[in-house]
Amino acid sequence: MKFGTPPSYASVVIVVSKIPCTYDVFLRAVLFATALAGVILMVTAEQTKTFPVAPGLSITRTAKFSHSPAYIYFVAAMSVAALYSLVSGLVSVFALMKPGGNSAKLMFHFVILDALLLGILASTTGASGGVGYIGLKGNSHSNWNKIPCNRFDFLYCLSNSKPRLLL
């Protein structure tokens, strides 16, 4: 009975080590899509309304994201997240095409940068969520009325909460 050469497991190890990297690329693509959708929703959310002040006299007011520093911070952080996910996704794809796959050093850098970006996105979601909550409910202790939801259509307030729901 002749047994021939033992099977080579080297190719199996390379394929198995590339599977987590494929998930990594997929998750970075999902991050890019959600961050870009959040930026687009926030930047395009705008409403103009005319309020009657006196008979024959009215004031036109516009509500948009650039009127709140927390919303500006949200758009800036989401833009950074979209750019980071695009660049790191491309680096992951190029590392997948490399014969050895991703190195441990590259994955360590990704873990550190991902944790940093997670902290930034958590802080911006909390800041913009707090401003959105005050705008929706107001704060009776500070004498802040509902801003701008008691003056603008509810759809504007709803469109400003969608990007935070994407996270």
Q: Tens of pLDDT along 6-50?
A: 555 544 433 335 677 788 889 999 999 999 999 998 898 887 878
Torsion angle, alpha carbons of 145, 148, 152, 155, to 10: -120
Name the residue type at position 154.
F
DSSP string spanning 114-151?
A: HHHHHHHHHHHHHHHHHHHHHHHH-BTTTTB---STTT
Burial of 80 (0-12, 13-18, 19+ CB in 10 A): middle
Residue 102 host element (H or E): none
| Torsion sign across C-alpha atoms 91, 120, 62, 45 | positive
pLDDT at 152 over 60: no
What pLDDT is stored for residue 60 in this prediction?
A: 85
pLDDT confidence bin for 96, thresholds 50/70/90? confident
What pLDDT is stored for residue 45 in this prediction?
A: 82
What pLDDT is stored for residue 6 in this prediction?
A: 59
| Torsion sign across C-alpha atoms 58, 63, 66, 71 | positive
pLDDT at 113 over 90: yes
CA angle 151/147/71 to nearest 5° reads 120
pLDDT tens track for 118-150: 999 999 988 888 877 777 777 777 667 666 555
Q: How far apart are CA 74 and CA 122, in angstroms?
A: 10
